[in-house]
């Protein structure tokens, strides 16, 4: 048995390359089904976030196909353009990478909190699809436990360590704009979180709702709402537009934006694939940020010091995983 992984992330490829791997749940189900048709593969887990797409595979020792090629083939994506923009790891390097990832030290925003939830969701979806074998289950369990230990013992879990708070900082830095009204497109988890943070910081925030989903919506306290179909009309009253949906199409299009009388000066796109037509940055006096443009944290001296402590914690959970593997293999010999 062997564990292998491959992935593409913000360090290896820009957002216009990465967004080709944004899967809906229905697409993910088909991808898992296609991967598991290979009898040499015992299990697989896919992590898909705005910053990365990674595939983890438990397989036969002599399985020699590039795991990223496996993912591309299963998703109906041509592997050729990605040959030089992905990384592959095997054996011990896989669990070490996964632990570091769950801890947030591989993130574009150092120590961010959302990644641990994304790792949990990835193994949960794989389990739901009956795609995770026991080796992957235990490996992910140990990585999540390592991340929780790091978060509880080292100062990584400040509120500022998230893309939402990075977006907030960009807004606060616009000192000359006198920002008052902000439109948030999207009422999913990210949209609600962004709306809450804006309201907590004294901004008037309006969140879009889709009419056919009104009965199922959770609206943040003190938030205004507008029907999604009226978003362009609402933009006339707003200084900033933030979009955070799972839509495969643009929620802000150049053609429609140019039709409104007063265009907001600041646009922040928190989605992958992108929600906002990137060509709008060519309009005069318009600023547009996407998840890459929000910027990666530099590794500070404080981060470097924390990293030593993180590695010590991770090593313990890697050892625990090895012990479990030896125990399981021992059972197989009885």
Distance CA 54, CA 293 (A): 22
Residues with Cβ within 8 Å of residue 85, at least 6 apart in sequence: 8, 12, 13, 17
C-alpha 182/C-alpha 140 separation (Å) is: 38
Q: ∠118-229-260 over CA atoms, to 5°? A: 110
Q: What is the pLDDT of residue 177?
A: 82
Active site residue 50: yes
Structure tokens belonging to residue 67:
């795991």
Which entry of 50, 99, 103, 238 is annotated as an active-site residue? 50
Spatial separation of the C-alpha atoms in residues 3 and 40, rounded to whole Å: 12
104 is an annotated ligand-binding site residue: no
Provide φ and ψ at 273, rounded to 5°: -65, 160
> Strand 2-9 relative to strand 87-90: parallel, antiparallel, unpaired?
antiparallel
Q: Is 52 annotated as a binding residue?
A: yes
The alpha carbon dihedral of 92, 46, 316, 323 has a sign of: negative
pLDDT of residue 124: 97
Distance, in Å, from the CA atom of 80 to the CA atom of 266, rounded to the nearest integer, reads 36
Cα radius of gyration rounded to whole Å, the chain: 21
- Residue 24 tokens read as 């809906």
CA angle in degrees (0–180, nearest 5) for 226-193-205: 40
Burial of 329 (0-12, 13-18, 19+ CB in 10 A): exposed
One digit per residue, the tens of pLDDT, for the chain of length 334 reads 899 999 999 999 999 889 888 888 888 999 999 999 999 999 999 999 888 999 999 999 989 889 999 999 999 999 998 999 999 999 999 999 999 999 998 988 888 888 999 999 999 999 999 999 999 999 999 999 999 999 888 756 555 567 888 899 999 998 778 898 999 999 988 899 999 999 999 999 999 998 655 555 678 889 999 999 999 999 999 999 999 998 889 999 999 999 999 999 999 999 988 999 999 999 999 999 999 888 655 555 567 778 889 999 999 999 999 999 998 877 755 4
* Helix, strand and coil in the chain, % to nearest 5: 45, 15, 35
Pairing of strands 204-209, 266-269: unpaired
Report the alpha-carbon distance of residue 325 to residue 194 in Å, rounded. 42
Furthest CA-CA distance within the chain: 76
User: Binding residue per annotation — 114?
Assistant: yes
231 is in an annotated binding site: no
Domains and CATH numbers, the chain: 2-158+301-333 (3.30.460.30), 163-289 (3.40.50.720)
DSSP assignment string, 198-242: HHHTT-EEEEEE-GGGGGG--PPTT-EEEEGGGHHHHHTT-SEEE
Mark 47-85 as b/e (b = at least 16 C-beta within 10 Å): bbbbbbbbbbbbbeeebeebbbbbbbbbbebeeeebeee
Q: Is 64 annotated as a binding residue?
A: no
The response to whether 207 counts as a known ligand-binding position is no
């Amino acid at each position: 048995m062997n564990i292998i992984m491959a992935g593409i992330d913000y360090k290896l490829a820009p957002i216009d390359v990465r967004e080709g791997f944004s899967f809906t749940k229905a697409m993910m189900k088909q991808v898992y089904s296609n991967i598991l048709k290979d009898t040499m593969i015992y299990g697989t887990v896919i992590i898909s976030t705005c910053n990365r797409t990674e595939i983890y595979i438990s397989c036969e020792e002599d399985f020699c196909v590039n795991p990223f090629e496996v993912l591309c083939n299963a998703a109906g994506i041509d592997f050729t353009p990605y040959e030089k923009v992905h990384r592959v790891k095997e054996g011990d390097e896989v669990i070490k990478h996964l632990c570091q990832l769950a801890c947030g030290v591989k993130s574009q925003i150092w120590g961010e909190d959302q990644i641990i939830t994304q790792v949990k969701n990835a193994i949960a979806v794989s389990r739901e699809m009956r795609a995770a074998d026991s080796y992957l289950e235990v490996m992910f369990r140990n990585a999540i436990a390592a991340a929780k230990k790091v978060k509880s013992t080292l100062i990584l879990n400040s509120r500022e360590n998230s893309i939402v708070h990075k977006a907030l900082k960009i807004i606060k830095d616009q000192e000359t704009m006198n920002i008052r009204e902000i439109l948030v497109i999207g009422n999913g988890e990210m949209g609600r979180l962004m709306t809450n943070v804006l309201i907590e910081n004294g901004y008037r925030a309006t969140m879009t709702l889709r009419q056919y989903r009104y009965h199922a919506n959770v609206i943040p306290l003190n938030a205004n709402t507008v029907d999604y179909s009226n978003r362009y009309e609402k933009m006339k009253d707003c200084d900033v537009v933030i979009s955070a949906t799972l839509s495969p199409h643009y929620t802000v299009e150049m053609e429609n934006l140019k039709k409104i009388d007063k265009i907001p000066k600041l646009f922040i796109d928190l989605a992958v694939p992108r929600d906002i037509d990137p060509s709008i940055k060519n309009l005069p006096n318009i600023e547009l940020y996407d998840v890459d443009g929000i910027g990666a944290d530099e590794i500070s001296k404080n981060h470097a010091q924390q990293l030593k402590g993180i590695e010590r914690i991770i090593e313990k959970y890697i050892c625990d995983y090895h012990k479990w593997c030896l125990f399981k293999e021992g059972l197989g010999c009885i």
